[in-house]
């Protein structure tokens, strides 16, 4: 096919169903593969979905759509996942820190540039460990713009565009190890008129030598941990704070002024017994406005080759509350999890090694920073006994908290106001409302819209670390269970066991109207898009640029000929405009495999280091003549 004849208008309205039917008929009739029959309508992005399904429990009938999206982490598989709830159907897996040969993540030049490469062009990292996914905010609820996700393994933050549900930026934090807790701010701490996410906060769980260049290897007492702030817009690291102890999870206040991290290693210990030595650990609060004032005033240092300003948040430097940037509130032993209540009033830390949760009142924390509360412990307003191994807490927007109990294998529903009354001495306060068995050993739980002011108390998801007997056996590695609980009534109802491939940790449940996707890319968003004018082969010495277009059911060049030893860059633009019409591009023995969605452009660069004839073929079933959609990639000896 002559590439110049590639149709670039695609403007005849017809549906995907009509398209497939018509094209198949063309094929059967033996009509040559001109592209006249392939004109398609550009589907409008984010078209309105069918009305909410009338359903009971988790059943979503064929043709019906779910009410919620769940965006969940995937642990050491390195990706993010999108589920529909309540059905639990997997809608998408978003590659982030992993390499994914379905979409070509880590294979295409564009994805490699996002992940980061070494000087030789290979990926700097091919692994990751994602735990926490959180959405960007506006007016205290999700704005549907971005998701942020952590990589505990290599201490990176990634951003995912919610409109395409693709990762667009990854930032590595300098001088940080075990970056675990992540949370966006919900309002600007300095300019309070800006009521949306501008920063992303990151805790560091592991302490390391600062800088980590071989010094102090045998002196862990000298090691330290940094809290980091990343710009949501540019994804650059704005500043860091050195703290005493470590930081596990992270939460932010609705007023934008405070970020908090639970600390299980206030001991700064390097071994298990040492980390459990103290009777109480802490939740560290950082006063963001004061941190930024110090940075602005130049009162910071830098570490090693990093240019990022580092301010001192350790206790010794923050003895005076009125100028302090940090407050260490003593909480139950080795806590795990810190969560902000949707009314904006409280942070809840769980005890893990203590059967309690600690409730800290934000207004008291702010009063401490003003010098009006003496003892840091006076910011604690409740510490109810809730069960064994409490980890994470979700909220229903009706004043109730739901904490996962790892050791008891339960979700416990308790009332925050009752816990506060009990702490004040009310012996009749009914704190524990109900306990529900989950199966088994829950890690995170999270509720529908529970991390926003619009917490709606409909669903609670319990992400369980062990599934044991809940599913058909599949060998030594078990799936994990995501158990869906209906929390809308007086009593919690377990309504489904969904499987999950290891290992999801945290997630968010987002009302579907918040999410506005675009279903088709815009060709002009890709500066390297192939045009009918520049399509073909361009050679400069041994550098060969192959510019290819796809339109069902053909690539624009039937033959692509290069010489052994050439460095080949292949750029592919998908000219199909019809929604859902994706093509693949694979070259045998060359490890090339990626897809191009409608109107998208991607490229790969590789050395043609062995001669032969290789069928460059479409991997993504696109057309009745999908199998015929292939070109000869010829490498001359």
The sheet carrying 592-596 orders its strands as 559-563, 630-636, 612-617, 583-587, 592-596
Using the rule CB under 6 A, is 391 a contact of ligand CUK? yes
Give the nearest distance from C-beta 531 to ligand CUA in angstroms: 20
What kind and span of H or E run contains 567? strand 567-574
Given a contact cutoff of 8 angstroms between Cβ atoms, the answer to whether 396 and 343 are in contact is no
What distance in Å separates the CA atoms of residue 265 and residue 282, rounded to the nearest whole number? 8
Site string (430-449) toward ligand CUK, x via CB under 6 A: -------------xx-----
Stretch of 151-159, 290-298, 466-474, 613-621 contacting ligand CUA, by CB under 6 A = 613-621
Could you check whether the bond before residue 86 is cis, i.e. omega within 30 degrees of 0? yes
**Span interacting with Ca ion, options 10-18, 262-270, 295-303, 592-600, rule CB under 5 A:** 262-270
Q: Does 154 sit near ligand CUK (CB under 6 A)?
A: no
| Binding footprint of ligand CUA, residue count (CB under 6 A) | 9
Residue 392 or 623: the one with the smaller Cβ distance to ligand CUK is 392
Cis check: omega of the bond before 234, within 30 degrees of 0: no
Task: Tell the smallest beta-carbon distance from residue 186 to Ca ion (Å).
Answer: 29
User: Among residues 410 and 550, whose Cβ is nearest to ligand CUA?
Assistant: 550
Nearest to 181 by CA among 71, 261, 286, 285: 261
Residues 77-116 that bind ligand CUA (CB under 6 A): none
Q: How far is the CB of 484 from ligand CUA (least distance, A)?
A: 36
Nearest to 598 by CA among 617, 576, 623, 572: 576
- Select from Ca ion, ligand CUA, ligand CUK, none the partner in contact with residue 249, using the beta carbon and a kind-dependent cut-off of 5 to 8 Å: ligand CUK
- For ligand CUA, the binding residues in 540-599 under the rule CB under 6 A are 552, 583
CB of 23 to ligand CUA, least distance (A): 11
Residue (107 or 484) nearer to ligand CUK, CB:
484
Q: Which does residue 281 bind out of Ca ion, ligand CUK, ligand CUA, none, counting CB within 5 to 8 angstroms by kind?
A: Ca ion
Question: What x/- string results for residues 289 through 308 when contact with ligand CUA is judged by CB under 6 A?
Answer: --------------------
Give whichever of 281 and 566 is closer to Ca ion, judged by the CB atom.
Answer: 281
Give 390-443 as a DSSP string: EEEEEE-SSSEEEEEETTTTEEEEEEHHHHHHHHHT-TT---EEEEEE-SS-EE
Q: Residues binding Ca ion: what is the number (CB under 5 A)? A: 5
Least separation in angstroms between CB 596 and ligand CUA: 9
CA separation for the pair 452, 464 (Å, rounded):
23
Query: For residue 202, what is the enclosing H or E element?
Result: strand 199-206
Length of the chain as a residue count:
637
Among positions 67, 188, 451, 506, the unique one binding ligand CUK when judged by CB under 6 A: 506
Q: Beta strands 507-511 and 536-540: pairing type? A: unpaired
| CB of 620 vs ligand CUA, minimal distance in Å | 5
Residues 185-224, one symbol each (x = binds ligand CUK by CB under 6 A, - = not), give ----------------------------------------
Minimum CB separation from ligand CUK for residue 177, in Å?
A: 15
553: cis peptide before it, omega within 30°?
yes
Structure tokens at 297: 């005033």
Compute CA distances 582 → 197, 293, 383, 445, whole Å: 33, 50, 54, 35
Contact letters for ligand CUA, residues 151-190 (x by CB under 6 A) = ----------------------------------------
- Least CB distance to ligand CUK at residue 443 (A): 3
SS (H, E, C) 462-499: EEECCCCCCCCCCCCCCCEEEEEEECCCCCCEEEEEEE
- By beta-carbon proximity to ligand CUK, the closer residue of 442 and 553 is 442
**Token pair for residue 123?**
């990926």
Q: Cβ closer to ligand CUA: 587 or 618?
A: 618
Specify the DSSP class assigned to residue 607. Answer: E
Asked whether position 615 contacts ligand CUA by CB under 6 A, the answer is no
Q: Which does 618 bind (CB under 5 to 8 A by kind): Ca ion, ligand CUA, ligand CUK, none?
A: ligand CUA
Residue number, 511 or 583, with CB nearest to ligand CUA: 583
Write the DSSP assignment of 100-160 as a string of letters: BTTTTBTTSHHHHHHH-B-TTSSBS-S---B--EEEEEETTEEEEEEEEEEETTTTEEEEE
- Binder among 3, 150, 318, 334 for Ca ion (CB under 5 A): 334
Q: Does 249 bind ligand CUK (CB under 6 A)?
A: yes
SS3 38: helix
As a whole number of angstroms, the distance between CA 427 and CA 434 comes to 18
Q: Is 350 in the site for Ca ion (CB under 5 A)?
A: no
Structure tokens at 161: 């565009």
Q: Which of 8, 57, 143 is nearest to 489 (CA)?
A: 57
Could you give the maximum distance between any two Cα atoms of the chain, in Å? Answer: 87
- For residue 315, give the 3-state DSSP assignment: helix
629 binds, among Ca ion, ligand CUK, ligand CUA, none (CB under 5 to 8 A by kind): ligand CUA
Q: Taking the CA atoms of the chain, what radius of gyration do you get in angstroms?
A: 27
Phi, psi of 506 (to 5 degrees): -105, 165
Angle at 469 (CA atoms; ends 465, 474), nearest 5 degrees: 85
Among 156, 336, 511, 602, binds ligand CUK (CB under 6 A): 336
Which CB, 406 or 594, lies closer to Ca ion?
Answer: 406
For ligand CUA, the binding residue among 618, 624, 630, 633 (CB under 6 A) is 618
Instruction: Work out what residue 39 binds among ligand CUA, Ca ion, ligand CUK, none; the CB cut-off runs from 5 to 8 Å by kind.
Output: none
State the first-to-last Cα distance of the chain, in angstroms, to the nearest integer: 26
For residues 603-637, one letter each, b for 16 or more C-beta atoms within 10 angstroms of the residue's C-beta and e for the rest, the string is: bbbbebeeeeebebbbbbebbbbbeebbbebbbee
Examine residue 408 and tell whether it contacts Ca ion (CB under 5 A). no
- Is residue 205 near Ca ion by the rule CB under 5 A? no
Among 78-86, 259-267, 381-389, 485-493, the segment contacting Ca ion (CB under 5 A) = 259-267
Q: Rule CB under 6 A: is residue 335 a binding residue for ligand CUK?
A: no
Rounded Cα distance between 339 and 348, Å, is 5
Judged by CB under 6 A, the residue of 505, 547, 583, 623 near ligand CUK is 505
Report in angstroms how near the CB of residue 622 gets to ligand CUA at its nearest: 3
Residue 334 binding result from Ca ion, ligand CUA, ligand CUK, none, given CB thresholds of 5 to 8 Å by partner type:
Ca ion
Measured from the CB atom, is 405 or 530 closer to ligand CUA?
530
Positions that interact with ligand CUK (CB under 6 A): 131-132, 180, 249, 336, 391-392, 443-444, 505-506
Positions that interact with ligand CUA (CB under 6 A): 552, 583, 618, 620-623, 626, 629
Positions that interact with Ca ion (CB under 5 A): 264, 275, 278, 281, 334
């Amino acid at each position: 096919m002559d590439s110049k004849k590639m149709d670039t208008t695609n403007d005849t309205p017809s549906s995907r169903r009509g398209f497939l039917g018509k094209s198949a008929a063309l094929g059967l009739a033996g009509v040559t593969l001109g592209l006249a029959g392939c004109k398609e309508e550009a589907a409008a992005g984010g078209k309105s979905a069918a009305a909410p399904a009338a359903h009971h429990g988790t059943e979503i009938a064929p043709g019906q759509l779910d009410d919620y999206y769940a965006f969940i982490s995937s642990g050491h598989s390195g990706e993010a996942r999108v589920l529909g709830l309540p059905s639990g159907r997997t809608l998408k897996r978003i590659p982030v820190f992993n390499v994914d040969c379905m979409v070509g993540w880590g294979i295409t030049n564009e994805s490699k540039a996002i992940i980061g490469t070494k000087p030789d062009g290979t990926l700097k990292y091919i692994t990751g460990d994602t735990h926490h996914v959180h959405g960007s905010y506006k007016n205290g609820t999700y704005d549907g713009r971005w998701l942020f996700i952590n990589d505990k393994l290599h201490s990176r933050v990634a951003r995912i565009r919610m409109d395409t549900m693709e990762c667009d930026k990854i930032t590595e934090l300098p001088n940080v190890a075990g970056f675990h807790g992540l949370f966006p701010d919900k309002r600007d701490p300095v300019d309070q008129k800006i009521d949306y996410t501008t920063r992303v906060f990151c805790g560091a769980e592991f302490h390391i030598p600062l800088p980590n260049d071989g010094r102090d290897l045998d002196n862990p007492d000298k090691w330290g941990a940094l809290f980091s702030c990343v710009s949501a817009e540019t994804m650059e690291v704005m500043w860091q704070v050195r703290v005493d102890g470590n930081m596990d999870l992270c939460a932010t206040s609705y007023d934008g002024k405070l970020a908090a991290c639970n600390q299980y290693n206030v001991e700064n210990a390097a071994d298990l017994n040492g980390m459990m030595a103290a009777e109480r650990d802490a939740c560290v609060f950082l006063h963001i406005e004061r941190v930024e004032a110090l940075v602005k005033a130049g009162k910071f240092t830098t570490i090693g080759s990093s240019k990022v300003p580092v301010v001192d948040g350790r206790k010794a430097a923050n003895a005076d509350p009125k100028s302090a940037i940090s407050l260490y509130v003593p909480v139950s032993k080795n806590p795990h999890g810190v969560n902000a209540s949707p009314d904006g009033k409280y942070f809840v830390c769980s005890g893990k090694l203590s059967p309690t949760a600690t409730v800290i009142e934000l207004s008291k924390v702010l009063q401490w920073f003003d010098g009006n509360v003496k003892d840091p412990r006076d910011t604690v307003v409740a510490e109810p006994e809730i069960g064994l191994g409490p980890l994470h807490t979700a909220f229903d927007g009706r004043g109730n908290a739901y904490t996962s109990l790892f050791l008891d294998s339960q979700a416990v529903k308790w009332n925050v106001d009752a816990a506060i009354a009990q702490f004040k001495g009310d012996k009749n306060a009914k704190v524990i409302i109900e306990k529900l068995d989950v199966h088994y050993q829950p890690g995170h739980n999270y509720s529908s819209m529970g991390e926003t002011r619009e917490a709606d108390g409909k669903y609670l998801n319990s992400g369980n670390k062990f599934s044991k007997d809940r599913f058909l056996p599949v060998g030594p590695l078990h799936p994990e269970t995501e158990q869906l609980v209906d929390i809308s009534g007086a009593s919690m109802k377990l309504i489904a066991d969904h499987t999950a491939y290891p290992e999801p940790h945290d997630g968010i449940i987002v009302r579907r109207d918040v999410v506005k996707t675009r279903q088709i890319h815009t060709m002009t968003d890709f500066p390297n898009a192939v045009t009918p004018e520049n399509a073909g082969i361009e050679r400069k010495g041994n550098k060969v640029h192959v510019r290819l277009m796809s339109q069902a059911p053909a690539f624009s060049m039937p033959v692509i000929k290069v010489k052994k030893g050439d460095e080949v860059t292949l750029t592919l633009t998908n000219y199909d405009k019809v929604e859902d019409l994706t093509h693949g591009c694979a070259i045998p023995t060359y490890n090339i495999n990626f897809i191009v969605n409608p109107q998208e452009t991607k490229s790969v660069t590789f050395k043609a280091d062995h001669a032969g004839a290789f069928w460059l073929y479409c991997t993504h079933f696109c057309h009745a003549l999908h199998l015929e959609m292939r070109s000869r990639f010829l490498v001359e000896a």
